Structure 1
């Protein structure tokens, strides 16, 4: 039982990180109707920016304290992500208003490869470290109840708590602020929102900036765990099955979907892997997403689209 709880907790913490990346997909799709395939590349680009600025700032400014360096690196990386969001809106999205969905998808694919290549040109292609002070050592819980206790990775726990706090903050932002209500209005009906004076271009810059902020936080967490390397964008794409499972338009769906996939892949790898030959953790999320596409394409919490003629 202790080992099962250990696997379950690990899956929940990994699932919360998947949810954090998936949130970027959902935010952009809700506000602009664009399925942002570039979210994984944004996570990688943001992580590279954070890692490299944390190296360069001490040489540029003479700062030596880790907290001050990391804080300044975070602010500079965030400013860069906002600039990227503004350029995407100005140079790409504003020129593709009212185009077909496949056109917008191909545009985000182009953005993906541009960010991958530009990130490598700007920041280099080595493996970089991000050290923001997350604890690395595991702790053992419930040692009196289970023999040997339940091992929990402190870094995973801290990362999951940060992700949960960010998700909660974004939920409050969308529900209780004027900008958040404007974003929800744009998500419901672009033309109606525009008719009452909500500027779509400004809203799209805001939502891409928020997605950039989410990508930066996710990149820092994943970079701290795995190191910043170009395979990080592939890890971030694990959020694609999450949004298919939870629903493209649902913030709660992104959270629940991430938790289901995080727990499902860990339990299946441990308990089914020996019988099926292992490697289940690699493809579990995508097979589950395929099942949902066949049986419930709108996801658990997505809106069912009905065309009437």
Structure 2
């Protein structure tokens, strides 16, 4: 019979894992909230950001102190992600304005393979080590083992959600982003610069991809399988809602905790490996009851 302490330890592990998923899911929500498009390329952006940061760190470390190299690499990677966002707007989104959402979705699938292909041509396929300066050993709090990198990821995810929620709710650009999401043509008619707005939102998604890439790269190494981690963000989006930034955190926690508890307590009964598919089953159950997610906006189309 599992002790309450053991259950708490498993749940805490799941909570921290769920916040890691939330970091990846943030980028999906940002793009969907501002353009109504599901960005399948977010996982590739996570990979690209991690690769650029690792290589930039090596270059700047060779030029000076490691601490300076870290911050210089971070700023350089942010600049690269903004340039990538501008390129995506100019060459992908601008020609497809007012096209059906499925067209834009298919375009992001093509963008995924383009980013991964270019990344492999430039950096190859080897695994890079990413060191954030956070020790591997866990903190032990009243007998609970808590990974320091997991706590760092949790703090980053919560800080980003709060900052983005404030940005969308209380800033002029944030309100413009929501207007563009509702109707591209109407937003253009009242003077909202669609091209600029899309550069901003893809840049924000790039920043979310950067921080997700740093955390996942530090945990798993910077390798092409990181882009597959984005698939684990899908159940998070379904639970939290595709348009809800706070819902990303709640959805991530629910997915992380439930899959860890299911792996420990249900896995032995059904033969194990339940962690790889349980989140998708839970998301399917939520879809059947509440298609817009727990915090998503209910869409009513008038005909």
TM-score of Structure 1 vs Structure 2, range by shorter chain = over 0.9
The answer as to whether partners of 2:140 and 2:146 remain within 8 angstroms in 1 is: yes
1:25 and 2:28 correspond: yes
The residue that corresponds to 1:104 in the other structure is 104
The residue that corresponds to 1:239 in the other structure is 233
The residue that corresponds to 1:121 in the other structure is 121
Q: Unpaired segments of 5 or more residues in structure 2?
A: none
1:12 to 15, 25, 50: 15
1:271 shift after superposition: 1.0
The residue that corresponds to 2:174 in the other structure is 180
1:51 and 2:45 correspond: no
Distance 2:285 2:5 in 1: 31
1:170 and 2:176 correspond: no
Larger deviation, residues 183-192 vs 285-294 = 183-192
1:115 shift after superposition: 0.7
Distance 1:183 1:6 in 2: 40
Distance 1:196 1:308 in 2: 23
The residue that corresponds to 1:295 in the other structure is 289
Distance 1:244 1:278 in 2: 24
Give CA deviations for 1:236-263 in whole Å, capped at 9, x if unaligned: 2211111112111111221211111011
Larger deviation, residues 270-279 vs 133-142 = 133-142
1:13 shift after superposition: 1.1
1:295 shift after superposition: 2.8
1:304 shift after superposition: 2.0
Give CA deviations for 1:29-63 in whole Å, capped at 9, x if unaligned: 1111111000011101111111111112234xx21
Larger deviation, residues 216-225 vs 49-58 = 49-58
The residue that corresponds to 2:259 in the other structure is 265
Distance 2:163 2:68 in 1: 24
The answer as to whether partners of 2:61 and 2:70 remain within 8 angstroms in 1 is: no
The residue that corresponds to 2:68 in the other structure is 68
TM-score, normalised via structure 2 length: 0.95
The residue that corresponds to 2:244 in the other structure is 250
TM-score, normalised via structure 1 length: 0.93
CA RMSD in angstroms comes to 1.4
1:42 and 2:36 correspond: no
Larger deviation, residues 215-224 vs 171-180 = 171-180
Distance 1:192 1:100 in 2: 16
The answer as to whether partners of 1:132 and 1:224 remain within 8 angstroms in 2 is: yes
The answer as to whether partners of 1:137 and 1:155 remain within 8 angstroms in 2 is: no
Q: Unpaired segments of 5 or more residues in structure 1?
A: 143-148
Distance 2:148 2:8 in 1: 15
1:176 shift after superposition: 2.4
2:145 is paired with a residue of what secondary structure?
strand
Task: Give every structure 1 segment of 4 or more consecutive aligned residues whose post-TM-superposition deviation is greater than 6 Å.
Answer: none
1:234 shift after superposition: 0.8
Larger deviation, residues 206-215 vs 99-108 = 99-108
Tell me how many residue pairs correspond in the alignment. Answer: 300
